[in-house]
Structure 1
Amino acid sequence: MALSANDRSIAGFTMAGHSLVHWFETSIPIFLVVWLAEFDVSVAVLGLVLAPSYGLFGFGALPAGILADKYGPKRLVLACLAGMSLGFLVLAVSTSIYAIAAGLIVWGLAASVYHPSGLSLISTGVAERGTVFAYHGIAGNVGIALGPFVAATLLIFFPWQLVAALLAIPGLFAVVYGLSADFDPTGGVEGMDASEASDKALSLSDLLGNTRTLFTSVFALVFVIVTFEGLFYRGMLTYLPEILQGLPALEGFTVGPDLEGIEPSRYIYVGFLVVGIVGQYAGGKLTDRMIPSRGLLGIFVVLAALALAFIPVTGMGMAPLLVLCGLLGFFLFAIQPFYQDAVAVHTSADSRGLSYGYTYLGEFGLGSGSIAIGGFLLDAFSLATFFAVLAAFALIGAGLSAGLLTLLDRSESPRAAETGSDD
């Protein structure tokens, strides 16, 4: 079925927003390598600078969802786009590590608004939700890959301050586009208009009551599982560019004789993210054939094994390093559809928005703790210790997933318990 004009307008608006959130998010680790040299700080110090911004990216999701219900998701998404661009413009004029921290905090606070607002807009404004959610996911994946690719390429030719400013330009264009976008934000819900939608915003007592219900159910275990996935995800995603640059396997390696100044580590990181797009697609397909807890258990075990294998494999040369990074990228993103599915099947429809708000708080908020932890480990201990701790996060996630699977095995039909079906 073809999308209606309203569905197309919302799809374009949210696809722009989703791609740009991840465009900014995944370009930041590329700058990390430059800032370490520019400001002569340790990895631990820079980790403490990065952690609050990524923490806000997660912790801000819950209040952002409440504000989106009250003031409308379009306003919140526009504020997100403007705020993220402003944050990068602050980076562009930064001359100290403190100014860098301020710019990143502005970005993190603004970015936290997107997911609850954008997903809320699609869920209430679109008739063909499945199709638009698919386009929305693809746009996010494109941003994940393009952000670091463009940042790495521009850094070959321009100083990092100018690159930060150039990266902000698409966000500013998106604001202009969004202001002109015309759509009904409640067009997908029969008999509801925008004023009625704002009247349905959660009161404090509703929020507390629904939160209590969620965390006295199986969702509480799912939330902890997602948090440990977030600790692995954020630690790996943040420090991999810096780790790759210092590997002996890349010493003396050049992309081409006429391309002096290109850091191959940055493009390996981009490739890692591109493979992640395939992993996320494959994981989404597998959620139709496998209960979420079993998929989570299997992928956590694989991630732990890959983290433990990083040090010995990277000593084998370039080819094994590329294979390892490809596998890490694939499984790091393949796990995401499984925890998203687990949230859906272990919560009721009327608390789904709140449950995803808490999910992103665990994934991006609590998960950002690995930025500070990782910076400390890389500065004070060996690279092997860093990957051992990441492996421990994954193994704890595997153990919790096994617990979830065992809990469901006690029911008459584990698949029905986890999928909500009667099969």
Structure 2
Amino acid sequence: MALDSNDRSIAGFTMTGHALVHWFETSIPIFLVVWLAEFDVGVALVGVVVALGYAPFGLGALPGGILADRFGTKRLILSCLAGMSLAFLAIAAAALVESIYAIAVGLVLWGVAASVYHPAGLSLISTGVEERGTVFAWHGIAGNVGIALGPFVAATLLIVLEWQYVAALLALPGLVAVAYGLRAEFDPQAAAETTDEESTKSLSPAELLGSSRALFASAFAIVFVLVTFEGLFYRGTLTYLPEILQGLPAMDGVDLGAGLEGIEPGQYVYVALLVVGMAGQYAGGKLTDRVRAARGLAAIFAILALLALAFVPVSGLGLPVIVAYCAVLGFFLFAIQPFYQEAVAVYTPPDGRGLSYGYTYLGEFGFGAASIAIGGFVLGSSLELFFAMLAGFALVGASLAVALAAGVDWVLWSVGEEATADD
């Protein structure tokens, strides 16, 4: 079914926002290398500085969801785009004082601004779009485009420009997006039964606690834990896979040709995984219109568990097989995302959708990031144990999805109703 004008307008607006969030996010590690050379500081300090930017990106998702319900999704997304752009301009200006701490301030500002996008953008799609699955798919693809283009553009510009000018240039698309967003017109509640006034009401602390309690007394409790385990698998995989790939014997002696000396071939395989992920996002989004979210989640989690267990045997079969394996992994790693986004929409009420997605991305980006620390420790002990850990995360997610598919959600809803009645 073709998208109507309202769906198309929301799709264009949210795709732009999603691409730019990841455009900024994935360019930061490129600058890290430059900052190590530019400032007389150690890797540990620069790592802490960069972590200061990423931390609020995940932890701010819950406040972002609350703000989306209070002030409206469009207003919040525009603030996000403007804030991220201004933060990168502040990072560029830090070169004037030649201080790594000034860069830290800019990164914190970026993390705070970026944190509100996912709960606001997904809330807007879930309440404003009739063809949710299709728009979730295109929205995910746009995010993958940003993931791939951010580091590519940053690294290319750094060949000819100083880092501060590159940071400033990266901010320009965000400012253009703000101008575009101000002119975009759509109904953010076209697909919801609630009114805009109801969906943007202000929550007192007591009301917030009550709304949160109601959410976690429902099937959303299972969805939240499920998303957290998806985040553990996702972050652990994408953080360490480039390093793991580069250390494989199959990568030794790969000749990339004249002019490409010094470039690690594992990075090309990794980028290819992200590109295939766009197809996975699209396929997953289209399937959410035909397959129940819980069943789709159970199936893809099971596939991811098998893929994790297969890595070590596959890694010894040669470069073509490894590339094919990474393509399949990339497809399913991103195909799962529209399904959990749809699950949040299915198992939560429209007037609390921003709060719901806030909790969702607290689990995905906040708690899910724990696998970076856990994975580094486990990987230092054994490659086999690392992928067994990832398989375990996926199997827990599959079990939770099976519980949803089996109807546990109705039991939880009834428990929530009884708790409300007792109060």
**SS of 1:202's equivalent?**
coil
Instruction: Please tell me the residue identity of whatever aligns with 1:286.
Output: L
Instruction: Please tell me the residue identity of whatever aligns with 1:397.
Output: G
Instruction: Please tell me the residue identity of whatever aligns with 2:147.
Output: I
Q: Could you tell me which residue of structure 2 aligns to residue 172 of structure 1?
A: 175
Instruction: Please tell me the residue identity of whatever aligns with 1:70.
Output: R
Instruction: Please tell me the residue identity of whatever aligns with 1:139.
Output: A
1:9, 1:183 within 8 Å by CA — same for their partners in 2? yes
Structure-2 change in CA distance of 1:352 and 1:37 (3 Å): same
Q: TM-score normalized by structure 2? A: 0.79
Range moving further from structure 2, 271-280 or 349-358: 349-358
For residues 247 and 37 of structure 1, the distance between their equivalents in structure 2, rounded to whole angstroms, comes to 28
- Report matched runs for 1:332-371 at 5 Å: 332-371=333-372
For residues 253 and 17 of structure 1, the distance between their equivalents in structure 2, rounded to whole angstroms, comes to 38
Q: Which runs of 5+ in 1 are unaligned?
A: 412-423
Match of 2:115 among 103, 112, 121: 112
State the Cα distance separating 1:120 from its structure 2 match: 4.3
Structure-2 change in CA distance of 1:247 and 1:223 (3 Å): same
State the Cα distance separating 1:159 from its structure 2 match: 6.5
For residues 328 and 176 of structure 1, the distance between their equivalents in structure 2, rounded to whole angstroms, comes to 37
Q: Could you tell me which residue of structure 1 aligns to residue 43 of structure 2?
A: 41
1:17, 1:114 within 8 Å by CA — same for their partners in 2? yes
Instruction: Please tell me the residue identity of whatever aligns with 1:22.
Output: H
2:136, 2:338 within 8 Å by CA — same for their partners in 1? no
Match of 2:185 among 177, 183, 186: 183
Q: Could you tell me which residue of structure 1 aligns to residue 401 of structure 2?
A: 401
State the Cα distance separating 1:313 from its structure 2 match: 2.4
Q: Could you tell me which residue of structure 2 aligns to residue 414 of structure 1?
A: none
Q: Could you tell me which residue of structure 1 aligns to residue 271 of structure 2?
A: 270
For residues 410 and 128 of structure 2, the distance between their equivalents in structure 1, rounded to whole angstroms, comes to 40
1:123, 1:188 within 8 Å by CA — same for their partners in 2? no
- Report matched runs for 1:188-207 at 5 Å: 188=190, 196=197, 200-207=201-208
Q: Could you tell me which residue of structure 2 aligns to residue 415 of structure 1?
A: none
C-alpha distance after superposition, 1:367-407 (max 9, x if no partner): 122223234444x4344443332222222222333343445
For residues 37 and 322 of structure 1, the distance between their equivalents in structure 2, rounded to whole angstroms, comes to 33
**SS of 2:320's equivalent?**
helix
For residues 314 and 30 of structure 2, the distance between their equivalents in structure 1, rounded to whole angstroms, comes to 23
1:280, 1:330 within 8 Å by CA — same for their partners in 2? yes
Tell me the percent identity.
Answer: 67
Instruction: Please tell me the residue identity of whatever aligns with 1:145.
Output: A
Q: Could you tell me which residue of structure 2 aligns to residue 326 of structure 1?
A: 327
2:65, 2:356 within 8 Å by CA — same for their partners in 1? no
For residues 291 and 198 of structure 1, the distance between their equivalents in structure 2, rounded to whole angstroms, comes to 26
Structure-2 change in CA distance of 1:53 and 1:230 (3 Å): farther
For residues 404 and 100 of structure 1, the distance between their equivalents in structure 2, rounded to whole angstroms, comes to 45
State the Cα distance separating 1:220 from its structure 2 match: 0.9
State the Cα distance separating 1:230 from its structure 2 match: 0.6
**SS of 2:43's equivalent?**
coil
For residues 134 and 284 of structure 2, the distance between their equivalents in structure 1, rounded to whole angstroms, comes to 18
Aligned: 1:150 with 2:153: yes
Q: Which runs of 5+ in 2 are unaligned?
A: 412-423
1:29, 1:241 within 8 Å by CA — same for their partners in 2? no
Q: Could you tell me which residue of structure 2 aligns to residue 213 of structure 1?
A: 214
C-alpha distance after superposition, 1:19-78 (max 9, x if no partner): 101222344455667778986637xx8876655544422321221222233334344223
For residues 409 and 65 of structure 2, the distance between their equivalents in structure 1, rounded to whole angstroms, comes to 34
- Report matched runs for 1:10-409 at 5 Å: 10-28=10-28, 41=43, 53-89=53-89, 93=94, 102-121=105-124, 135-154=138-157, 163-179=166-182, 181=183, 183=185, 188=190, 196=197, 200-378=201-379, 380-408=380-408
Structure-2 change in CA distance of 1:77 and 1:41 (3 Å): same
State the Cα distance separating 1:160 from its structure 2 match: 5.9
1:156, 1:262 within 8 Å by CA — same for their partners in 2? no
For residues 345 and 193 of structure 1, the distance between their equivalents in structure 2, rounded to whole angstroms, comes to 18
State the Cα distance separating 1:128 from its structure 2 match: 7.8
Q: TM-score normalized by structure 1? A: 0.79
